[in-house]
Amino acid sequence: MKTSKKPDSVTRDCGFLSEQLIVKLAELALSKISPDRLDLGKFRKRLFSELETVGILVNEPSIPMLYQRTQDLLGLSKEKINDLTETTEIFPVICYAVLEDWLKENSSLIVLHQGYYNFSGEERAPSFIIVNGLKIPDRMHILAKYAGEPVFLKVLCDKRAMNIGVSGESSPALIGELQQRVKGRVVKEFKGKTINHNLETVELKSYKREQLIYPSKLGKKIDDLLVVFNRWKQSDKVARWGYLFIGNPGTGKTTVGGLIHGNKGECTFMYCPAGEISSNDINQIFSMAKTLAPTILQIDDVDLIAKDRSDGDSSCTSALMENLDGLGEDSKIFVVLTTNDPAAIEDAIINRAGRVSGKIIFSDFGSCLAELLLKHAENYGLKVSEETTRKALEEQEKAIGDFTPDEAKNICERLYLLHGTETQLTSTHLIEAIDEVYSAFHDPDVLKRFTRNGKTKNAPKQPDVPEYI
């Protein structure tokens, strides 16, 4: 080593201790960075060089255990590994079980060593996560031979996905074979089922058309949707299709997804609330939808991941647009997107027929409020006649045009809890319950008393639908 001056023993010892401390602190600070972006070896080399320029001599640390084993078993030095071709891919978590089975075969992929190491390459105790009943290590290294060629595998896992990096001349072929094996397992276990983006089984309620009440204009659109969906299932002429459902919370957007679910037949149904997914999840979701096709893909509250690109971070928006564009004629996917804030959605998504095939606005439930109340009254066993119900709606003085199906249910729940099933309900009973619901959810004078982040909470209104919808 070259030095600018010869340090005394105290300086040298302090320098060595400082170096160790700096390295450990740096490892801690950098531990959350993907290993694909972090080269700790280069960091150490640069650190030693910088310390040397100020006259501090440091001892080169011994070779970490992981790289010693790589040298012994594969004949590859750490430097040689860094020079090898590396292929990285993100897989669903089920890939761990697939990889385990492949290693047990001892066929094209022969494991020589499997262990747990930190970013420095030193051995560490394994830590595990539980996903879908599987006990999976969050970090693992595998030294193996693939088709006779040495390969070095780095596996990182969380509850959402597995990141596998393979170093070796045959790494592209290994990743390709692993992709095919994972695809086969996913199709075998999940095709035709109802799942979420983590490939977990979802209990989604199904509905029949006669169970649901809509205003006449909206009802006609729902009927047409069912005709379109059933023809889409049976035809090969239209591969991709889909809708954007727009409406306030409680207007039944997700319920129509349940109506489609009740008619899904042998299709796979993927239910993915946008609040639970990231930009990386979006890529995985569409990849799985293609693998499990024909697929119905429902993403609720899509405005959370399809924000106008001028509003800041657009990674989710870009990922969604790219994947919607990537649905070609070989992608048998029926996409359902829901939102209560269409004005927040990127214009290039909401206003392009190639990305959204049709839009349905859920509103005007005040026109069928009597039918909704009578249906829920029957479900709760309330004693109330149709004549009394319609009379109450005519006599009450509140603006009920924006009432939702959920609020109609709330009215009947309130009547049941107050009066039970033995009381013969009058129009006065109904008017009092309607007044309570109006006051709780619609009265602007009441809502102005509540604030959120210093801002007044306004009374709900119909969604701000851009003029072009």
Residue 219 and residue 330 in one domain: yes
Q: Would you say 308 and 344 are in contact if contact means Cβ atoms under 8 Å apart?
A: yes
Lowest mean pLDDT among 38-42, 165-169, 222-226, 320-324: 38-42
Asked, for residue 237, whether it belongs to a domain, the answer is yes
Lowest mean pLDDT among 12-16, 82-86, 138-142, 337-341: 12-16
Asked, for residue 452, whether it belongs to a domain, the answer is no
Structural domain harbouring 42:
9-61
Q: Does residue 182 or residue 33 have the better pLDDT?
A: 182
Axis-axis angle for helices 427-441, 386-395 (nearest 10): 50
| The pLDDT of residue 2 is above 50 | no
Q: Which of 317, 344, 362 is the last residue of a domain?
A: 362
Residue spans of beta strands (DSSP E) within 19-117: 86-91, 109-115
CA 370 to chain centre: 38
Q: Which of 328, 362, 396 is the last residue of a domain?
A: 362
Cα torsion for 251, 256, 258, 263, to the nearest 10°?
160
**Predicted confidence (pLDDT) per residue in 408-434, tens digit:** 999 999 999 999 999 999 999 999 999
Q: What is the pLDDT of residue 392?
A: 93
**Predicted confidence (pLDDT) per residue in 184-220, tens digit:** 999 999 999 999 998 889 998 999 999 999 999 999 9
Q: pLDDT class for 469, splitting at 50, 70, 90? A: very low
CA distance 78 to 280: 30
254's tokens: 């997700």
Round the average pLDDT of the chain to a whole number and report it.
84
Q: Would you say 363 and 462 are in contact if contact means Cβ atoms under 8 Å apart?
A: yes
Q: Does residue 120 or residue 334 have the better pLDDT?
A: 334
Secondary structure of residue 361 in the 3-state scheme? strand
Q: What is the pLDDT of residue 255?
A: 93
Sole residue written with tokens 């206003």: 351
Residue 220 and residue 349 in one domain: yes
Q: What is the pLDDT of residue 68?
A: 87
Taking residues 271-284, report their average pLDDT. 88
Asked, for residue 201, whether it belongs to a domain, the answer is no
Residue 230 CB-half CA count within 13 A: 9
Amino acid identity, position 108: S
Q: Which of 335, 362, 389 is the last residue of a domain?
A: 362
Q: What is the pLDDT of residue 171?
A: 93
Taking residues 44-60, report their average pLDDT. 68
189's tokens: 């276990």
Q: What is the pLDDT of residue 401?
A: 83
Residue 266 and residue 351 in one domain: yes
| The pLDDT of residue 403 is above 50 | yes
Q: What is the pLDDT of residue 12?
A: 39
Taking residues 270-289, report their average pLDDT. 89
Q: Does residue 178 or residue 239 have the better pLDDT?
A: 178
Residue 274 and residue 404 in one domain: no
Lowest mean pLDDT among 21-25, 166-170, 388-392, 397-401: 21-25
Tell me how many domains the chain contains. 4
**Predicted confidence (pLDDT) per residue in 333-361, tens digit:** 999 999 999 888 888 888 887 788 899 99
CA distance 386 to 374: 7
Residue 238 and residue 277 in one domain: yes
| The pLDDT of residue 13 is above 50 | no
Q: What is the pLDDT of residue 382?
A: 96
What are 155's strand-pairing partners?
A: 140, 164
Q: Does residue 137 or residue 9 have the better pLDDT?
A: 137
Asked, for residue 16, whether it belongs to a domain, the answer is yes
CA distance 308 to 256: 26
Residue 391 and residue 377 in one domain: yes
